[in-house]
Amino acid sequence: MIIAVSAFIAGLLSFLSPCVLPLIPSYLSFLMDPGLLKQPWSPAIRTTLLKRSLGFITGFSIVFIALSVVITLGVSFIPQQALNIISGALIILFALHILFNILPFLNYERRRALYQSNSFFTSLALGGAFSAGWSPCIGPLLASILLLAAQEGSLVWSIILLAVYSLGFAVPFFLCSFFYPTMKTILRKSTAYIRIFKITSGIILLTLGLSMLLGRLRFLNGFLFRSSQRIASFYTQFQPIISSIISICYFFVIIYVLRIKRIDFWIKIGITALLTSGIVLEIFFELSIIQFIVWYLQFQGI
């Protein structure tokens, strides 16, 4: 389970990579007809963009999953212990590259001059071309997940892992399509935090790589389970204080979100409703986000 979560996070971090995140508005514009781009934003245009985004997502997911099948079948003859060592060493190498840029050739990205998308199937083809053309740029993260999938030794599990990786990439892409006008502004500002995204992804890969190399991947499960017990014990002792602090934080986040003028009205409503529900659960039902974290960590440790 921990590997599946890592695959989803890797998909999210791939979306946040320097050659993907800043260009998301351009990708979305490319999925629309030039005539639609000149019209005011409307539900009809949103529906059109969402349909084509689904085609785009399906296209790159098919290519990523196909890569996992090829690699899993290709390494099936390698002994498990040797595969663990090779995979762990390569993932560590990729992690060090993300953190310190030690493999400059992996920074290469290839863009193709493709035609404008005007249908679901055209968008699907563009998604496939995207995954093939930009794979070198998101290569360290993608390759690490491919190696993790191959290390499991099961073709079905490899397909599931790459599907989860694709989902991690697809979810923010789809949300950007749904909230296109608002996200265009947010994405421009997010590029300032790309360095943080890179460090985060590098640390995650380094941890996984070392665990695989040392044969201690299962140790992570036990560590997460023990951590959940400590967090639960601490929360039980100081529950009223912790719930009050969390509720106050929720309240200030709500005030901050409502004051931001550039955020879409429905995004504000959704965030406000979610955080208000959190306050009610914390205060009146003693159901805290801390408990959800504990349950999640316990589930990872099983």
Per-residue pLDDT of the chain (302 residues), as tens digits, is 566 777 888 788 778 765 577 667 767 766 766 565 566 767 877 888 888 889 888 988 888 888 778 777 776 677 767 767 877 787 788 778 778 877 775 554 444 444 444 567 777 877 776 666 555 555 566 777 777 777 666 778 888 888 888 898 899 888 888 887 777 666 666 666 667 767 877 787 788 778 777 777 667 667 777 888 888 899 889 888 888 899 999 999 999 888 877 777 777 888 899 889 988 888 876 678 888 777 766 655 44
So what's the pLDDT on residue 75? 66
pTM attached to this predicted model:
0.61
Give the pair of three-digit tokens for residue 288: 């805290």
For residues 211 and 28, give the distance between their C-alpha atoms in angstroms, rounded to a whole number.
38
H helix runs in 101-238, sequence order: 120-134, 139-152, 155-178, 180-190, 194-213, 217-237
**Domains of the chain: which residue ranges?**
2-215, 224-301
Non-local (6+) Cβ contacts of 257 within 8 A are: 263, 268, 271, 272
Tell the burial category of 136 from Cβ atoms under 10 Å away from its Cβ (0-12, 13-18, 19+). Answer: middle
Dihedral sign for Cα 209, 214, 217, 223, please: negative
